Amino acid sequence: SLAAARQRTQESQFPVRVCAELLEGRTAKTKGMTRELPNPALWWINGRGSEVRWSFEEMGLHSRKVANILTDQCGLCKGDRIMVILSRIPEWWLVITACIRTGIVAIPATSQLTAKDIEYRLQASGAKCLITTEALGSVVDYVTPRCTSLKTKLLVSSEGKREGWLNFDELLREAPANHTCAKTKMNDPMLVYFTSGTTGAPKMIEHSQGSLGFRPLISQRSWLYTTSSDLIWSTADTSWVVAALGSFFDPWVLGTCVFIHNSPMLENTTILRTLSQFPITAFLSPPTFFRMFLKEDFTSYKFKSLKYCISGGEPISLEVIEEWKNKTGLDIYELYGQTEVGSICSVSKEMKIKPGTMGKALFPYDVQIIDQEANILPPGKEGEIAIRIKPERPLGFFTQYIDTPQKTAATIHGDFFLTGDRGVKDEDGYFKFIGRADDIIKSSGYRIGPFEVENVLLTHPAVAEVAAVSSPDPIRGEVVKAFVVLSSDYATHNKEKLIVELQEHVKKVTAPYKYPRKVEFVQKLPKSQTGKLLRKELRDQEWGRV
């Protein structure tokens, strides 16, 4: 209950005051004593000599100015939506914070989006404003005539102006620093994420002011065990919910400095060198990076400050955990979550690491393994990973799939929310991930819907039919594989050249991370008696389950 939550926050006041006071530019206080935090709120580098260090006070100052830009210059009001297509640059943190101040709903999006992706998201969301960098300026201008809701475009650029755009840098210099936060309620919308599904276009997941931001304030056991003297670095793209969890809400509640490296392509050596050169104490990354690191020679890298490694986004293998431990002396703690719910389970510092498991349920979730009738299964029995939402829906949940109530309703079975993942729970309450219950492909931390890939490939004249499924990969965990039935006109074409052509076609039409790294040409695809594509048969074939 809220009363119990307040009691818990009173018993541990420092994290609460860090979140509430520091973003207002105050020094943290506890029991009448003033305490200066040793770290900045945000420490940003780009690998080319540029560096930004903002204290919590400076974050408060700058975010108030951005809040005034959004309301006074862009004409946005509480409840309006803004698409934020910014990579890991300081302005992303300012805009998200300013949106929370004003009640404006932010839609984080990856800078890898193509014109088609941006156009769909603008039309579906009805966003009135968009902010991005010069790199996507021409792409946005191309789709603008077909996006009637878009009224204002903000450009983050110190190099000059662009016709039809407001210059964010210039406005920031002139904006007033005084701002009064809008009054928002727990259930008011705060963030919207576009996420891939098994069928149809990406759907909009809405999080409220109370879901992601308020939950870490009352958690009895956080997945993140850091303090005001720690630096955490998360490699997550700003379009992922992991960025909100690992680079925004949870660290700042604890007074932890968020460290960011803005290299467009985070290569193995760049990451390892950064971990060696900077006093980073906590590192959060998908298993893909840990697997790639292990291919490098570690003799020239010394992680003097690093003490806490966290893996999330997809399962990590026992072999990677053991080899990382042997080479670095550090454990890898697993984190399991979803865009709809945030963090669900974790292996914490206080827990014994059980190889092959993703830890225990996080407060306030009651996580269970259930069968098809929503009955709770005993330990050791495989079923669907589900979270109890009745009689009360716990904090942290998304509000809805916007404009698709039937999809929202489909996630509820009995008293439980269905994660779409299958797993097993042991006698000690540890969960083991078995696999997806649907066709979603998780590759290098990205969530890819097969329909999106298939839809793009079908626009190529060589493709008559296609099915996209996950396929095992030693580095990325799994990748997209496309089974293609060729049209008659392309039956005799050079297959190797055609594979490259199809891959490049996908990269051009949609976000490049979705392209099929494997392509196999087949005579026909497995289908049901009603003509429905049976991706499961192809997926089982790829994973050796037949």
Phi, psi of 408 (to 5 degrees): -60, -45
Specify if 451 maps to a domain. Answer: yes
pLDDT at 10: 31
Per-residue pLDDT tens digits for 17-37 = 333 334 443 333 333 433 444
Q: What is the pLDDT of residue 19?
A: 38
Q: Mean pLDDT over residues 181-202, rounded?
A: 86
Residue 529 domain-assigned (yes or no): yes
pLDDT exceeds cutoff 80 at 315: no
Average pLDDT of the residues in 457-477: 90
Residue scoring higher pLDDT (299 or 53):
53
Q: Copy the structure tokens of residue 494.
A: 């050079």
Residue 219, pLDDT score: 59
Q: What is the pLDDT of residues 414-455, one digit of tens each?
A: 999 999 888 899 999 999 887 777 777 888 878 787 878 888
The residues, ordered by sequence, that sit 6+ positions from 40 with a Cβ below 8 Å of its Cβ are 53, 54, 55, 56, 58, 257
Band (474; pLDDT cuts 50, 70, 90):
confident
User: In Å, how far are 22, 32, 179, 301, 452 from 228, measured between CA atoms?
Assistant: 12, 18, 26, 26, 42
Establish if 131 belongs to a structural domain. no
Instruction: Please report whether residue 536 resides in a domain.
Output: yes
Contact present, 227 and 256 (Cβ < 8 Å): yes
Indicate the DSSP class of residue 394: P
What does the alpha-carbon distance between residue 333 and residue 349 come to, in Å, rounded to a whole number? 8
Residue 454 lies in a domain: yes
| Sheet strands (E) in 99-143 | 105-108, 129-133
Alpha helix positions (H), 144-261: 168-174, 215-218, 241-244, 250-253
For the segment 83-108, the average pLDDT, to the nearest whole number, is 97
Tell me what the mean pLDDT of segment 81-90 comes to: 96
Flag the least confident range among 72-86, 134-148, 211-225, 336-350.
Answer: 211-225
C-alpha distances out from residue 272 to 198, 275, 350, Å: 36, 5, 27
What's the predicted TM-score (pTM) here?
A: 0.81
User: In this structure, what CATH number is given to the domain that contains residue 518?
Assistant: 3.30.300.30
pLDDT at 165 over 50: yes
Q: Is 529 exposed, middle or buried (0-12, 13-18, 19+ CB in 10 A)?
A: exposed
Query: Considering the domain boundaries, does residue 503 fall inside one?
Result: yes
Measured between alpha carbons, how far is residue 24 from residues 28, 30, 203 in Å? Answer: 10, 16, 34
pLDDT at 482: 96
Averaged confidence pLDDT in the chain:
86
Read off the tokens for 70: 């959004």
Q: Which domain holds residue 471?
A: 439-543
Per residue in 337-395, pLDDT (tens digit) is: 999 999 999 988 778 888 778 999 998 899 999 999 999 999 999 899 999 999 999 88
pLDDT tens for 268-285 read 889 999 999 999 999 999
pLDDT (0 to 100) of residue 344 = 93
Over 80: is that where the pLDDT of 173 sits?
yes
Please spell the DSSP secondary structure of 440-491, one letter per residue: -EEETTEEE-HHHHHHHHTTSTTEEEEEEEEEEETTTEEEEEEEEEEPGGGT
More confident residue, 292 or 381: 381
Q: What pLDDT, on the 0 to 100 scale, is given for residue 543? A: 87
**Residue carrying structure tokens 């793209």:** 237
Is the confidence at residue 329, as pLDDT, over 50?
Answer: yes
Q: Is residue 533 one of the residues assigned to a domain?
A: yes
State how many domains the chain has. Answer: 1
**Range 500-518 average pLDDT:** 93
| Inter-residue contact 484 to 533 (CB < 8 Å) | no
Residue 521 within a domain: yes
